[in-house]
């Protein structure tokens, strides 16, 4: 992968950092890609993560982390350009296509992803997944949403509560 030019340019070659997932898998990525995470960026700027000692991420498992890093690596060049005024339409379309395919995954992975994005403070990824989840909810009735998103069936009390609630908020259901 072409090394994205980092603004500070303190190291000539792309600097690598090691991330350690909760199940002790080590991931080595370029600092520029990892810096998409605001949380990691602070650590990396402090000089952490290089060499043998990685950055432990005890609340992200390896499957999720690899997915997160896939996103980061793809988006790092565009982010390095700072909003990329000179990005071509082709580049943008390519990123969009990547994003669409990227979130076309199982729900449980989506939730792990959004949690990881939240914890690592990767804004773009969080928005991407949030939008995907919102799309799964959009245009569906409450029952359909429940079915789609695998909500447990409501208990009878809950059902009664819901019914009362629906009466109260009838204006939103008409």
Partner 1 sequence: MGDKLEEWEHLVDIVLNINLKSVRDVFVWDFQPCGLYKRKYPVSWAELIGRMPIQTAQLPGQGRRTMEHPGMIVVAGGDRLSSLPDGLLHHIMSFMKARQVVQTCVLSTRWRHLWRSVPCLDVDQTEFETGVLVAGLREAWHKFEDFSVILLGTHVSIARLDTFRLRTCYSFGASKHASSWIRRAIKYGAQEPGVHQRERASCFKPWRLRRLHLSNVDLDESFAQHLRSGCPSLEHLELKSCTCNFRAIASDSLKNLSLKCCTCTELSQITSPTLESLDIQLRSSAAESGSSNKKARGPLTVTAPALACLFLYVTDQSLAGGVCLNQMTSLAKATILLWDDKCRFLWNSPNLRKLTLRHCKFARDSKKQAFKTKKNPPSQYHDLVDIRRKNLKHTEIIYRDDDIRQLVELLLRISANFPNNSIKLTRVDVAFWRGKARVTHRARRRLTRTYAPPLSGALPTIALLAVAPPRAARPATALLATSSSSARSSLLPASLRPCSPPCLHTRRELERPDLRACRLIQLRSCASSVPPSFASSPTSACAPLRQALPVRQPRAAELCSRSNLRTRIALTRPACVPAPRRAPPVARPPRVHAALPSSTCVPAPPAARPLHSCCLAELRPRPDLPRASPH
Q: Enumerate binding residues for partner 1 (CB under 8 A).
A: 22, 39, 42-43, 55-59, 107-108, 111, 114-115, 118-119, 126-127, 130-131, 133-135, 137-139, 141-142, 145-146, 149-152, 154, 158, 161-162, 165-166, 169, 171-174
Element at 18 (helix H, strand E): strand 16-20
> Minimum distance from CB of 134 to partner 1 (Å)?
3
> Minimum distance from CB of 80 to partner 1 (Å)?
20
Looking at the Cβ atoms of 9 and 170, the one nearer to partner 1 is: 170
CA atoms of 9 and 13, how far apart (whole Å): 9
> Minimum distance from CB of 13 to partner 1 (Å)?
25
Looking at the Cβ atoms of 1 and 51, the one nearer to partner 1 is: 51
Element at 119 (helix H, strand E): helix 107-120
Nearest CA-CA partner of 123 in 72, 48, 66, 59: 72
Which residues are CB-neighbours of 92 under 8 A, at least 6 positions away?
none
Query: What Cα–Cα distance (Å) separates residue 112 from each residue in 59, 64, 154?
Result: 10, 7, 24
Looking at the Cβ atoms of 82 and 152, the one nearer to partner 1 is: 152
* Residue 20 three-state SS: strand
> Minimum distance from CB of 133 to partner 1 (Å)?
5
């Amino acid at each position: 992968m072409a090394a994205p030019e980092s603004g500070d340019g303190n190291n000539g070659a792309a600097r690598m950092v090691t991330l350690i997932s909760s199940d002790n898998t080590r991931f080595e990525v370029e600092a520029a890609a990892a810096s998409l995470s605001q949380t990691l960026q602070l650590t990396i700027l402090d000089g952490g993560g290089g060499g043998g000692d990685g950055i432990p991420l005890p609340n992200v498992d390896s499957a999720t982390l690899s997915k997160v890093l896939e996103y980061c690596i793809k988006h790092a060049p565009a982010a390095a350009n700072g909003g990329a005024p000179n990005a071509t339409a082709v580049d943008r379309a390519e990123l969009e296509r990547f994003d669409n395919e990227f979130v076309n995954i199982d729900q449980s992975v989506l939730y792990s992803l959004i949690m990881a994005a939240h914890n690592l403070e990767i804004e773009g990824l969080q928005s991407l997944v949030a939008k995907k989840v919102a799309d799964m909810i959009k245009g569906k009735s409450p029952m359909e949403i429940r079915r789609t998103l695998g909500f447990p069936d409501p208990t009878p009390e809950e059902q009664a509560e819901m019914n009362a609630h629906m009466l109260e908020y009838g204006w939103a259901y008409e």
